[in-house]
Amino acid sequence: MIKDEELQTSKATRRASMSDYLSPRARAIPPSGIRRFFDLVSASKDVITLGVGEPDFVTPWHVREACVYSLETGKTQYTSNSGTPELREAIGQYMNDRFHVEYDPAKEILVTVGGSEAIDLALRALISPGDEVLVPEPCYISYSPITALGGGVPVGIETFAKDQFKLTAESLKASITPKSKLLILCYPSNPTGAIMTYEDWLPIAKIVEENDLIVISDEIYAELSYSGNHVSFASLPGMKDRTIVVSGFSKAFAMTGWRMGYACGHPDLINAMLKIHQYTVMCAPVMGQVAALEALTNGMDEMKRMVESYNQRRRLVVKGFTEIGLECHEPQGAFYAFPSIKSTGLSSETFAERLLMEAKVAAVPGNVFGKGGEGYLRCSYATSVSQLTEALDKIGNFVHKIKMS
């Protein structure tokens, strides 16, 4: 945590370099581990990449076309701060149809610039300096830095392959202190592909209730659930008012570049997020909102086809890693496999770097996702079957070579 006196920038001495002008909090944010690896990969040629955290589908044409048409008809203005009424209505309908949670589009839904902005707004609206934010790890990389930026203290809760990377009641309980305020959940999980069933959730919900926690539930991969329907944390008994559901169109509807997301929650919380949102971005881009509405209105069949296609490839990679001799728990959601590379004796970073240099396959070392990620590799299977097959061959040869040496 950063102490208050460190936050004061002293005027007394002249600053030696431009970075001395930065706020201590901004300076303290570690650069993303993914970024470093990105530079490394970009410098290499002819690489097959399993490092991509986005769908390999282009946004379906009817969605793109809806946006083009709206531009042609001159839809180029600001929208209501919280998003167009039609889109909020459609999101409300969708949340109810798919996940059985009812939200009032007028007060409980906010359209944001990607799920990313929704996460930022929720954390900004809720964190006071010193608040502890519980984050099951390995997890998506933005939660801890944004928490720290707001003066909060991220508290990682390690999850394990033996539990299929699910959050367990015991480990949650063990991490709670009087300062615990928030719990950030992300299931289906990036990077582990873990999911939580209704039965898995119940003891977690009980602890949340007992300790008066607020939950930010990042459900952006909800549709990419391969063994039964996704269970929204907000749909659990008593949890709706305590939960801000964060989601978006990037993954399920193959719309990453559109930057369309949303948050659903209690009117008081959404209203605070809306205040910050209106001062920082005014509203999400209207073109994206038109496209998102089209996706929700006419895009469900196409979305389900894409999900089925990920599922086919999921089976392929899990079998592939197992045959190579890399233990791989079965991911039940998202589009990532998270095999263990511990049997090679290499660290995640070394494995990933050597795999890139020697086998020309890129994947993300597990340690960048926080506690419990060391010893694993995140491999996205949102890539063509032929590329996956080739990548698996190459990884197989590479692992064989290492184990022989």
Ligand X SMILES: Cc1ncc(COP(=O)(O)O)c(C=O)c1O
What are the residues binding ligand X (CB under 6 A)? Answer: 53, 114-116, 140, 186, 190, 218, 220, 248, 250, 256, 261
Check: CB of residue 335 under 8 Å from CB of residue 307.
Answer: no
Among ligand X, another protein, none, residue 293 binds (CB under 5-8 Å by kind): none
Cα distances from 334 to residues 100, 212, 228, 398, in angstroms, run 20, 29, 13, 26
CB-nearer residue toward ligand X: 83 or 114: 114
Shortest gap between Cβ of 362 and another protein (angstroms)?
A: 6
Q: Evaluate the CA torsion angle 81, 84, 88, 91 in order and state its sign.
A: negative
> How much is the CA Rg of the chain, to the nearest whole Å?
22
- Shorter beta-carbon distance to another protein: residue 23 or 312: 312
Which of 41, 123, 125, 252 is close enough to bind another protein by CB under 8 A?
A: 41
Shortest Cβ 54–another protein spacing (Å): 6
Tokens of 326: 């890399």
> Which of residues 15 and 319 has its CB atom nearest to another protein in the complex?
319
**170 alpha-carbon distance from chain centroid:** 24
Q: Which does 220 bind (CB under 5 to 8 A by kind): another protein, ligand X, none?
A: ligand X
Instruction: Please report whether residue 385 would count as binding another protein according to CB under 8 A.
Output: yes
**What's the angle, vertex CA 226, arms to CA 220 and CA 229, rounded to 5?**
70
Identify whether 85 is preceded by a cis peptide bond (ω within 30 of 0): no
Q: Is 248 near another protein (CB under 8 A)? A: no
Can you give 307-334 as a three-state secondary structure string?
HHHHHHHHHHHHHHHHHHCCCCCCCCEC
Considering only residues 313, 333, 337, 355, which one is a binding residue for another protein as defined by CB under 8 A?
A: 313
Interaction of residue 187 with another protein, rule CB under 8 A: no
**Do 122 and 216 contact (CB within 8 A), yes or no?**
yes
230 vs 359, beta carbon nearer ligand X: 230
In the region spanning residues 134 to 153, those forming contacts with another protein, defined by CB under 8 A, are: 140-142
Of 96, 346, 134, 350, the residue nearest 235 (C-alpha): 96
Residue in 316, 342, 343, 402 binding another protein, rule: CB under 8 A: 316
By CB under 8 A, name the binding residues for another protein: 32, 34, 37-38, 41-42, 47, 49, 51-54, 56, 58, 140-142, 190, 312-313, 315-316, 319, 362, 364, 385-386, 389
